[in-house]
């Protein structure tokens, strides 16, 4: 078989390989079943349509390394007993796991949602990943919450400093209401596979989501869904509903970059935003005496007035997904993109007067 084609197919499934230290060796192996190959861990499984005629398991990292080091364009895999011999320009022998060791079944459950996936959900998931953290005790921190209703789907995520909501009302419709969490790894893989040809389709049950991608080779992503998330999202977004929205001012990206440089060694990082009549002042100062900055940007909306002290790293993450913003005085910075139904909230950092706001001529 063609070595490069095999490598390409294995590379698609590789992100689902588990660690070598796992109690189940199969989780760190590729499984070959005739016309498919796959890898799975305790969260996701990636199945790739690729004809090999094999029916066994091979250690993932070792197989990838051998194939990458092989010089021949074509390779042949022969199995004798518990050894697979790979021949190309040379010969390598790898131990095999019998196919019977690979136990992977898709549960037969009622579908809550079955639909084609469009560009809007790709953008929504990508935006929500900005706010995903890691907290084993809070499932909504570990991925993107899908709230399924009969009129649409809402996506939520939070890391306890920022929160993101994307409303896809009317674009996806569920058969039954539910709230489930798509794990971060699965969300990242979904985005990566979205570039494949064809329109992906998703099926969601109470415990798993299955996304089928078209193109060659065919790919299926299967993921567990995490436990029931918190139902407090609605209140959070209602409490931070923006009163006055304004288009993002030209040049804000570069000013935030300056703030990031100056606060690189600070914890927490702080950037002060203050909107007056038609003007946004961006300032930051390092507590470690690395310098300070203060810039003024023109605002299109003169009614926007307020101030917020925020972590510039969070601002940088959110900027690519928004075209408008709002300030909830000393409470939050809010970004919005009405085209995709996006609202993104960044909580303020409680602090003393920013260093960049001090009188530099006072000598204090």
Q: What's the confidence (pLDDT) of residue 9?
A: 96
The pLDDT tens digits for 306-316 are 999 999 999 99
Q: What's the confidence (pLDDT) of residue 209?
A: 94
Cβ count near 323 (within 10 Å): 15
Q: What angle do CA 334, 336, 342 make, to 5 degrees?
A: 115
Q: What's the confidence (pLDDT) of residue 280?
A: 97
Q: What's the confidence (pLDDT) of residue 363?
A: 34
- Class of domain 246-357 as given by CATH: alpha beta
Q: What's the confidence (pLDDT) of residue 136?
A: 58
The pLDDT tens digits for 254-299 are 999 999 999 998 888 999 999 999 999 999 988 776 789 999 999 9
Average pLDDT, the chain: 88
Q: What's the confidence (pLDDT) of residue 355?
A: 44
Does the domain at 113-239 match CATH 3.10.150.10? Answer given as yes
Q: pLDDT above 90 covers what percent of the chain?
A: 65
300-311 average pLDDT score:
94
Instruction: Give the C-alpha separation, 318 to 16, whole Å.
Output: 28
Give the start-to-end residue ranges of the domains of the chain. 3-101, 113-239, 246-357
Provide, for the chain, the percentages of residues in helix, strand and coil under a 3-state DSSP scheme, each rounded to the nearest 5: 25, 35, 40
**What's 116-170 look like in SS3?**
ECCHHHHHHHHHHHHHCCCCCCCHHHCEEEEEECCCCEEEEEECCCEEEEEECCC
Instruction: Give the C-alpha separation, 69 to 75, whole Å.
Output: 12
Residue 225 DSSP SS3: coil
For 319, the token pair is 């900027």
Is the Cβ–Cβ distance between 61 and 20 less than 8 Å?
yes
Q: pLDDT above 70 covers what percent of the chain?
A: 93
Beta bridge partners of 52: none
Instruction: Give the C-alpha separation, 179 to 197, whole Å.
Output: 29
pTM: 0.86
Confidence at 119, pLDDT banded by 50, 70, 90: confident
Torsion of CA 225, 228, 234, 235, to 10 degrees: -140
Q: What's the confidence (pLDDT) of residue 129?
A: 95
Q: Is the pLDDT of residue 300 over 80?
A: yes
Q: What's the confidence (pLDDT) of residue 356?
A: 44
Closest to 91 in 3D by CA, of 102, 77, 104: 77
Q: What's the confidence (pLDDT) of residue 132?
A: 92
Closest to 14 in 3D by CA, of 35, 41, 33, 34: 41
Residue 272 DSSP SS3: strand
51-76 average pLDDT score:
94
Q: What's the confidence (pLDDT) of residue 88?
A: 84
Confidence at 110, pLDDT banded by 50, 70, 90: confident
Closest to 239 in 3D by CA, of 349, 102, 364, 332: 332
Q: What's the confidence (pLDDT) of residue 4?
A: 95
Q: Is the pLDDT of residue 21 over 60?
A: yes
Q: What's the confidence (pLDDT) of residue 72?
A: 92
Q: Is the pLDDT of residue 354 over 50?
A: no
Query: Is there a common fold for 3-101 and 113-239?
Result: yes
Instruction: Give the C-alpha separation, 251 to 280, whole Å.
Output: 11
Q: Is the pLDDT of residue 100 over 60?
A: yes
The pLDDT tens digits for 164-211 are 999 987 667 777 888 899 999 999 999 999 877 778 999 999 899 999
The domain 3-101 is placed in CATH, from the list 3.10.150.10, 3.40.50.720, 3.10.350.10, 3.40.50.920, at 3.10.150.10
Instruction: Give the phi and the psi of residue 155 in degrees, each rounded to 5.
Output: -110, 135
For 240, the token pair is 């931070």
């Amino acid at each position: 078989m063609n070595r490069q084609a095999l490598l390409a197919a294995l590379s698609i499934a590789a992100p689902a390989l588990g660690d070598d230290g796992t109690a189940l060796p199969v989780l760190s192996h590729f499984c070959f079943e005739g016309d498919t190959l796959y890898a799975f861990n305790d969260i996701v499984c990636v199945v790739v349509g690729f004809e090999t005629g094999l029916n066994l398991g091979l250690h993932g990292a070792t197989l990838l390394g051998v194939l990458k080091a092989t010089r021949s364009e074509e390779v042949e895999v022969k199995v004798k007993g518990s050894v697979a011999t790979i021949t190309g320009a040379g010969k390598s022998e790898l131990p095999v796991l019998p196919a019977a060791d690979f136990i992977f079944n898709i549960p037969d459950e009622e579908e809550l949602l079955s639909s084609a996936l469009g560009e809007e959900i790709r953008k929504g998931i990508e935006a929500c990943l900005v706010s995903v953290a890691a907290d084993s005790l809070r499932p909504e921190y570990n991925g993107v919450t899908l709230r399924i209703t009969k009129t649409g789907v809402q996506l939520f995520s939070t890391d306890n400093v920022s929160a993101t909501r994307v409303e896809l009302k009317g674009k996806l419709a569920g058969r039954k209401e539910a709230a489930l969490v798509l794990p971060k790894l699965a969300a990242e893989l979904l985005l990566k596979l979205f570039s494949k040809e064809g329109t992906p389709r998703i099926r969601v049950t109470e415990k798993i989501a299955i996304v089928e991608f078209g193109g060659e080779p065919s790919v299926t992503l299967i993921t567990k869904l995490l436990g029931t998330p918190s139902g407090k999202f609605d209140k959070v977004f209602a409490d931070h509903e923006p009163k006055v929205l304004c288009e993002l001012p030209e040049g804000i990206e570069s000013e935030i970059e300056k703030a990031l440089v100056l606060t690189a060694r600070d914890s927490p990082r702080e950037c002060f935003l203050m909107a007056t009549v038609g003007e946004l002042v961006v300032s930051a100062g390092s507590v470690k005496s690395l310098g300070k900055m203060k810039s003024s940007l023109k605002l299109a909306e003169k009614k926007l007035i307020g101030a917020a002290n925020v972590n510039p790293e969070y601002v940088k993450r959110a900027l690519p997904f928004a075209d408008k913003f709002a300030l909830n005085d000393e409470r939050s910075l809010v970004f919005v993109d009405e085209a995709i139904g996006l609202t993104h909230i960044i909580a303020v950092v409680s602090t003393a007067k920013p260093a960049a706001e001090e009188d530099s001529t006072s000598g204090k």
